[in-house]
């Protein structure tokens, strides 16, 4: 499982990138992107997904549907 950034909501602020413990977030062309293969949902490191905590836009980063 992983989290995903909704490109329509992302304002390109960059706040999520430095807080990711697995360096899974990089800037893309139209929004920041999460590498779903390396995102651990912060399991074992934090109680809450750090990118969701850091993102100022509600609903921008959501859990990827299985
Ligand atoms: S949920 Fe955690 S591991 Fe996944 S992208 Fe967000 S900060 Fe990184
Ligand atoms: S914190 Fe949210 S709005 Fe800012 S770059 Fe990351 S996903 Fe986009």
Task: Provide the 8-state DSSP code for 30.
Answer: S
Instruction: Supply the pLDDT for residue 3.
Output: 98
Q: Which range marks the domain in which residue 56 is found?
A: 1-66
Based on the structure, what is the number of domains in the chain?
Answer: 1
**Which residue, among 14, 8, 20, has the nearest Cα to 32 in the 3D structure?**
14
Instruction: Supply the pLDDT for residue 53.
Output: 98
Q: Which residues line ligand 1 (CB under 6 A)?
A: 3, 19-22, 24-25, 34, 39-42, 49-51
Locus of tokens 């499982």: 1
pTM: 0.95
Instruction: Supply the pLDDT for residue 65.
Output: 79
In tens, the pLDDT along 31-48 reads 999 999 999 999 999 999
Q: Which atom of ligand 2 is nearest to the CA of 6?
A: 7
Q: Tell me the average pLDDT of the chain.
A: 97
First to last CA, the chain: 7
Instruction: Supply the pLDDT for residue 28.
Output: 96
CATH of the domain at 47: 3.30.70.20
């Amino acid at each position: 499982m992983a989290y995903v950034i909704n490109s329509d909501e992302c304002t390109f602020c960059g706040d999520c990138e430095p807080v990711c413990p697995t360096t899974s977030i990089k800037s893309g062309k139209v929004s920041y992107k999460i590498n779903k293969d390396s995102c651990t949902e912060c399991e074992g490191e934090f109680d809450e997904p750090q990118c969701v905590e850091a993102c100022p836009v509600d609903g921008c980063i959501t859990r990827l549907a299985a």
